[in-house]
């Protein structure tokens, strides 16, 4: 397992967590924002008009309405990223991370417009008469770069598991286990069966389910979030102020939070922003390809609304809930996941400014060459669950753990614990104690910090299940369109079966490991798509100009 984690971290360092990745993503969005004259502002009103069907004819080619196509695309973006992803971003980068999620969404509105418009132009009919499209089509037929199209399609198949399948299933199962004590294998089995029943029906059935789920789950979640925000109204303005003031300086240490540098907050905010709204990733054009229209640019208009709804509204609500409640800097009792646990040599305290400064640097994207914080290797004596002596400190969830207990079969352990390079070697042991929370548990804790009380957790769990399930539906469609492009429709059924099996297996996987896989797969799709739309920039600009000429009386 340690070897797998090291390998994934290495890949993530080359891709999603690399310093260049957020710069490329934001840079491309900024370029198109200026190149096309701020379409996310100028086209915003018209986009709503197109969504309502005012520019569509009944005989237009396609399989779904604009609203169904948008709902399908939104169901792919409005998922665990809006609940767990925001919680993870703030946990990693503090309030500043939310600002960079906003920035990603604002320029992402333009990126979405570009990738959907150009992909829609080159859509085709498949063997069954259904409209199919996506970046692989413009790459092959617009750029004449079949090799790039094949690479993107393969990355889409991989990402359908890494983005749309594994994180959704994992977070749903853990949420149902925490809130309703439903075993992860049981919830995984039931939801996997439901998933299979829906995706067998293809895009029409997926679109119908998405168009029903997306509005309902959005409204339910918004009402719950507003209840928390109003309960902590006195903290809302200070929270917003910290988001803006920390944006270019990083977030200082406070409470159990050890702080985050500007580079860390910037990287994690952009990365999580992309995971949430998928602008530039190239996934949304696959859903929008089914929309009924003769004007590719009109569907691009509709796609502008996705990052606005997904990030600027829903993610902002989640961020305000977490920040105004204050739980993001507080420690709570929780079991320690191996992936998030690091045992360091010596005794450290978050009440000691020097220790905080050292750990701040140690946990940054690039620790200093003379880093004094070292991983512990050796033996720890444990009596009745309590680690003896001061030879080591447990760091869990990027915070100094407190009241740590060592358990074996849910009972206090006594004996010797072997540690190698900061990780437990002795098997069948569980660490438990107080530390910071992240992802869905953090958001759930924040929802309870209001007059909703324990019911706040249920709002999060129900919202999570609907969000995540709809995302898994959309990504199954993205994956089977990529499979169709690569090897034909005859392989779609085996892919769907494997997708359902993967969904079930993910319910018992390590949460942080799943998030790491998702970050890698997102980058694998994004980089070739950004390169492709840049090469098609002149064609997109000409398409937009021609579209507006047709709109004049």
DSSP characters over 26-80: HHHHHHHHHHTT-HHHHTHHHHHHHHTTTT--TT-SSSB-HHHHHHHHHHHHSSH
Structure confidence at residue 338 (pLDDT): 82
Question: Where in the chain is CATH 1.20.1740.10?
Answer: 2-330+445-551
CB atoms < 10 A from the CB of 230, how many?
12
Query: Bridge partners of 345?
Result: 392
Of the candidates 523, 77, 497, 526, which has an alpha carbon nearest to the alpha carbon of residue 307?
77
Structure confidence at residue 553 (pLDDT): 46
Q: What is the DSSP string of 17-38?
A: TSTHHHHHHHHHHHHHHHHTT-
| CATH number for the domain whose boundaries are 2-330+445-551 | 1.20.1740.10
- 24 CA to centre of own chain: 18
Structure confidence at residue 66 (pLDDT): 79
Structure confidence at residue 209 (pLDDT): 78
Burial degree of 505 (CB within 10 A; 0-12, 13-18, 19+) = middle
Strands, DSSP E only, in 361-514? 378-383, 386-387, 392-396, 399-400, 402-408, 411-412, 415-420, 423-424, 430-435
**16, 24 Cβ separation under 8 angstroms:** no
pTM for this model (two decimals): 0.83
Structure confidence at residue 511 (pLDDT): 53
Of the candidates 317, 287, 314, which has an alpha carbon nearest to the alpha carbon of residue 302?
287
Strands, DSSP E only, in 162-245? none
Q: Digits of tens for pLDDT over the chain (553 positions)?
A: 667 777 777 787 777 667 788 888 889 999 999 999 999 999 999 999 888 877 666 667 767 777 877 877 776 667 667 787 788 889 888 899 899 989 888 999 999 999 999 999 999 887 777 788 899 999 999 999 999 999 999 989 988 887 778 778 887 887 788 788 888 889 889 988 988 888 887 767 777 777 777 778 778 888 889 988 999 999 999 999 999 999 998 888 888 999 888 888 887 777 767 666 778 889 889 988 888 888 899 999 999 998 898 888 888 999 999 999 999 999 999 999 887 899 999 999 999 999 999 999 998 878 888 899 999 999 999 999 999 999 999 999 999 999 999 999 989 999 999 999 999 998 889 999 999 998 878 888 999 888 888 888 888 888 888 888 888 888 888 898 899 899 988 888 999 999 999 888 887 665 556 667 767 877 888 999 999 999 999 999 999 999 998 876 4
**303, 116 Cβ separation under 8 angstroms:** yes
In the chain, how many H helices and how many E strands?
25, 13
* Contact residues for 141 (Cβ-Cβ < 8 A; gap 6+): 122
């Amino acid at each position: 397992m340690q070897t797998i984690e090291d390998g994934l971290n290495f890949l993530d360092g080359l891709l999603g967590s690399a310093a260049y990745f957020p710069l490329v993503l934001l840079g491309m969005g900024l370029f198109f924002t200026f190149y096309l004259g701020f379409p996310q502002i100028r086209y915003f009103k018209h986009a709503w008009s197109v969504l309502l069907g005012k520019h569509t004819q009944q005989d237009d080619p396609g399989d779904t309405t604009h609203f169904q196509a948008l709902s399908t695309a939104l169901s792919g973006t409005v998922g665990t990223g809006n609940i767990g992803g925001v919680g993870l971003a703030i946990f990693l980068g503090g309030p500043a991370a939310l600002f960079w999620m906003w920035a990603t969404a604002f320029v992402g509105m333009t990126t979405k417009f570009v990738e959907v418009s150009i992909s829609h132009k080159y859509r085709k009919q498949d063997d069954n008469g259904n409209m199919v499209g996506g970046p692989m089509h413009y790459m092959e037929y617009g750029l004449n770069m079949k090799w790039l199209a094949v690479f993107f399609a393969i990355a889409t198949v991989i990402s359908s598991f890494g983005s749309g399948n594994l994180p959704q299933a994992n977070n749903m199962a853990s949420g149902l286990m925490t809130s309703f004590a439903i075993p992860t294998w049981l919830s995984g089995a039931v939801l996997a069966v439901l998933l299979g029943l829906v995706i067998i029906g293809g895009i029409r059935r997926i679109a119908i389910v998405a168009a029903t789920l997306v509005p309902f789950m959005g409204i339910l979640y918004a009402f719950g979030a507003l209840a928390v925000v109003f309960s902590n109204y006195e903290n809302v303005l200070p929270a917003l102020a910290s988001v803006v003031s920390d944006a270019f300086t990083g977030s200082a240490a406070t409470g159990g939070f050890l702080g985050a540098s500007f580079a860390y907050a910037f990287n994690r905010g952009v990365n999580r922003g992309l995971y949430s709204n998928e602008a530039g990733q190239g996934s949304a054009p696959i859903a929008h390809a089914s929309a009924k229209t003769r004007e590719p640019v009109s569907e691009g208009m509709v796609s502008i609304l996705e990052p606005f709804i997904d990030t600027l509204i829903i993610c902002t609500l989640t961020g305000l809930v977490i920040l105004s409640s204050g739980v993001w800097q507080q420690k709570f009792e929780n079991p320690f996941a191996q992936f998030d646990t690091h045992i360091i040599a010596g005794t450290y305290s978050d009440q000691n400014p020097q220790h905080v400064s050292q750990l701040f640097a140690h946990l940054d994207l690039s620790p200093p060459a003379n880093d004094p914080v070292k991983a512990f290797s050796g033996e720890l004596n444990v009596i009745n669950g309590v680690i003896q002596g001061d030879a080591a400190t447990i760091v869990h969830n990027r915070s100094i753990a407190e009241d740590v207990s060592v358990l074996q079969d849910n009972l206090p352990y006594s004996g010797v614990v072997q540690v190698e390079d900061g990780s437990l070697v002795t098997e069948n042991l569980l660490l438990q104690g107080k530390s910071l929370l992240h992802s869905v548990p953090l958001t759930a804790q924040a929802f309870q910090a209001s007059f909703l009380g324990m019911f706040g957790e249920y709002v999060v769990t129900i919202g999570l299940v609907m969000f995540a399930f709809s995302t898994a539906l959309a990504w199954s469609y993205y994956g089977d369109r990529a499979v169709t492009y690569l090897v034909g429709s005859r392989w779609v059924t085996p892919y769907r079966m494997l997708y359902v099996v993967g969904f079930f297996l993910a319910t018992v996987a390590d949460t942080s490991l799943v998030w790491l896989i998702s970050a890698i797969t997102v980058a694998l799709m994004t980089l070739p798509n950004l390169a492709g739309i840049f090469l098609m920039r002149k064609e997109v600009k000409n398409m937009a100009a021609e579209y507006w000429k047709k709109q004049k009386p």
